[in-house]
């Protein structure tokens, strides 16, 4: 089995070296063996795990949720239903965030429309609305 340095693995996954170290400290990837020189030697399997973490982050999963997903992935007794439940929870969270962002957009649009864009800041209806 071929090993990779931290720089190579980071480049292969498209993350920074510090991100790899951070995931290692968090226990999301196993601490690799070290060469006599002290350099980390990551197995090729770490690339797949880092891809998994990166994709899950892109979908909005927190590191705690990713840790749970990784645990399920490694648990021979885990079922797809358990993973699906977590995905559906994430969908519900995303929908709630979208509703919040839409509310914020409406509110900002309303207060922005009250401002003529001229005059002193002390008379700005946007500032007044925020106070």
* Cα 20 to Cα 13: distance, rounded to the nearest angstrom: 10
Token digits of residue 49: 């795990």
pLDDT in tens, 103-121: 999 999 999 999 988 888 8
pLDDT in tens, 43-63: 988 999 999 999 999 999 999
Supply the pLDDT for residue 1: 63
Listed residue (25, 69, 66, 23) closest to 46, CA to CA: 23
Supply the pLDDT for residue 35: 82
pLDDT in tens, 83-97: 999 999 999 999 999
Residue 17 has pLDDT above 70, yes or no: yes
Residues in a beta bridge with 4: 42
Listed residue (69, 74, 72, 40) closest to 55, CA to CA: 69
127-96-68 Cα angle (round to 5): 125
Torsion over CA: 109, 110, 111, 113 (sign): positive
Supply the pLDDT for residue 38: 79
């Amino acid at each position: 089995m071929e090993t990779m340095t931290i720089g190579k693995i980071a480049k292969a996954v498209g993350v920074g070296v510090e991100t790899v170290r951070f995931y290692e400290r968090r226990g999301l990837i196993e601490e690799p063996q070290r060469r006599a020189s002290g350099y980390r030697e990551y197995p090729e399997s770490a690339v797949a795990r880092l891809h998994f973490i990166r994709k899950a982050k892109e979908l909005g999963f927190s590191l705690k949720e990713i840790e749970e997903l990784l645990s399920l992935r490694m648990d021979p007794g885990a079922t797809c239903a358990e993973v699906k439940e977590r995905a559906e929870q994430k969908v519900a969270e995303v929908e709630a965030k979208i509703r919040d962002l839409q509310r914020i957009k409406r509110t900002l649009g309303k207060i922005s429309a009250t401002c003529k864009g001229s005059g002193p800041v002390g008379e700005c209806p946007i500032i007044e609305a925020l106070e």
